Amino acid sequence: MSIGIVTDNTCNLKSAEIEKLGVYIVSLYVNRSGKYTRALDLDLDSYYNELGTVAELPTTSQPSPQDFMEAFDRALQNFDVLVVPLISGKLSGTFVSASIASRDFDMPVHVIDTLLTENGLGMLIRNLSKMIEEGSDTDTLVKYATDFYKKIRTIFSVDDLNYLYKGGRIGKAKALMGNLLKMKPVLQMDEGELKPVENVRGNKKLLQSMVDHTLKGKDPAELKRVDIVYIKRSEDATELKRILLERVPSVEVEISLIEPVIGTHLGPEGIGIISEWA
């Protein structure tokens, strides 16, 4: 029995790797003044330049059940079973759309709320692909995908809290007060949603705090991989990598842009550390 993977674009895998892994991607949408564009079709540099200047902040929306039905139909021409790990249901209705679509198929389609997004979801996709190559059965894959969030720690920060406020992620008073005091929030994915863990003043202290929270309470020997993601903060991303390697010299660290759905909510100067642990 052959097993295929369908996921969504917030996994932040590059097109070459998607093709290599044979994964099917369903895209969420970005809405700019009533014009909906697949997130996969956006040019990131121009979009993030635009994001910092527009009067009306873009919004994001989930794929439709029809989007998933089309993807499932294509995938089931090549596979007998589908495993469908998706962005956290607390961040998006993508899981709901996929679940509705899965009911129209007689062949097994296992839709999973991973409680993850961004490169944490991407790390899961890579691992699932390897497990399929090694002969893991469907039950093993579904359980692994359901529990994998426990192996991921996701730390984010933003330069301007207004984007999180406008996207409905924090209250107006908190955004206003944080910006007035020039505080930098440290946010962590907890059970599938972003929650504040600390406010710091000053960029140098922020970067150190992000690394501290990434490693807090963990055995550095169990750190398998770190992805640093950013928007318009390449120097900060490089500095985060330097600090991390100073603390854990043997770890693999990659740097990439934040994908546009999460980037829309973080704003044009978001930055994050996503780590995978044994």
Output the pTM of the full model: 0.93
Question: In the structure encoding, which two tokens stand for residue 147, read together?
Answer: 């529990």
For residue 185, the model assigns a pLDDT of 86
pLDDT in tens, 218-249: 999 999 999 999 999 999 999 999 999 999 99
For residue 195, the model assigns a pLDDT of 86
- Rounded to the nearest 10°, the torsion over CA 80, 86, 92, 94 is -10
Count other C-beta atoms under 10 Å from residue 77's C-beta. 8
The set of residues, in sequence order, having a beta carbon less than 8 Å from that of 143 and lying 6+ positions away, is: none
For residue 183, give the 3-state DSSP assignment: strand
Query: Could you say which residues of the chain have pLDDT below 70?
Result: 161-182
- Let me know: does 179 contact 161? Beta carbons within 8 Å: yes
For residue 57, the model assigns a pLDDT of 86
For residue 153, give the 3-state DSSP assignment: strand
- Rounded to the nearest 10°, the torsion over CA 74, 77, 81, 82 is -10
Question: In the structure encoding, which two tokens stand for residue 53, read together?
Answer: 């200047």
Residue with structure tokens 């039950």? 139
